[in-house]
Amino acid sequence: MGEYDAVILLCVIFIGAVFAYIFILNESSRSKQEEYQKEVQKRKERAIEVADGAGAMTPEEFFGLRKIGNRINDDLNFPGVYVLLNTTKNMYYIGQGTRVGDRVNSHFTGKGNGDVYADYKYDNEFVIKLIKFEGSGYTTLNELEKAMIIAYGANATGYNKTTGNR
């Protein structure tokens, strides 16, 4: 084998090693991406499971639970997250509060999200779910809210402008 042949052989080995390295990196990256996607899916399913445990009501049913005047029944005021589904447009709004009943009330009386209120005012149909933080399995309200926003696509195709607080 001549000197020229040895150089070619070394180049072929080097190029083969580079391709093998790239292949290994690509497979590792693909594996990490698949793990990430599985984790995202698991979180979505968990958030929806938590929300499915909450009873649904219309805004009219919600207003029927109010006390005299404009005061919200204390049973509706707890720390948690609320899911507002515009069934006419299939759009979600997710929010949180230490008194969720008051927060939901604000959206349907013109003191909350203006887009939700406008759609309600123009006779779009809505469903409300109130989700208690206590017993949800999440460690913070922010975490619960963010999980719900992502699970329902409320940021991508709904009323939410962000994926939640911090």
The total of other beta-carbon atoms located within 10 Å of residue 54's CB is: 17
Query: What is the Cα–Cα distance from 142 to 95, expressed in whole angstroms?
Result: 9
pLDDT for 69 equals 60
pLDDT at 68 over 60: no
Mean pLDDT of the chain: 85
Mean pLDDT lowest among 13-22, 34-43, 145-154: 34-43
Question: How crowded is the C-beta side of 128, counted as CA atoms within 13 Å?
Answer: 24
Residues 51, 131, 150, 45, CA torsion sign: negative
pLDDT at 125 over 60: yes
Rounded to an integer, the average pLDDT of 84-107 is 96
Place of tokens 């042949």: 5
Q: Which residue has the higher pLDDT, 145 or 21?
A: 145
Q: Which residue has the higher pLDDT, 159 or 164?
A: 159
Rounded to an integer, the average pLDDT of 150-160 is 93
Query: What is the Cα–Cα distance from 30 to 12, expressed in whole angstroms?
Result: 27
Mean pLDDT lowest among 52-66, 77-91, 123-137: 52-66
Query: What is the Cα–Cα distance from 93 to 98, expressed in whole angstroms?
Result: 17
pLDDT at 5 over 80: no
Q: Which residue has the higher pLDDT, 13 or 59?
A: 59
Query: What is the Cα–Cα distance from 113 to 105, expressed in whole angstroms?
Result: 11
Residue type, 57: M
- Domain holding 117, by residue range, is 1-166
> What's 140's DSSP letter?
S
CATH number, domain with residue 96: 3.40.1440.10
* Domain count across the chain: 1
Rounded to an integer, the average pLDDT of 37-42 is 73
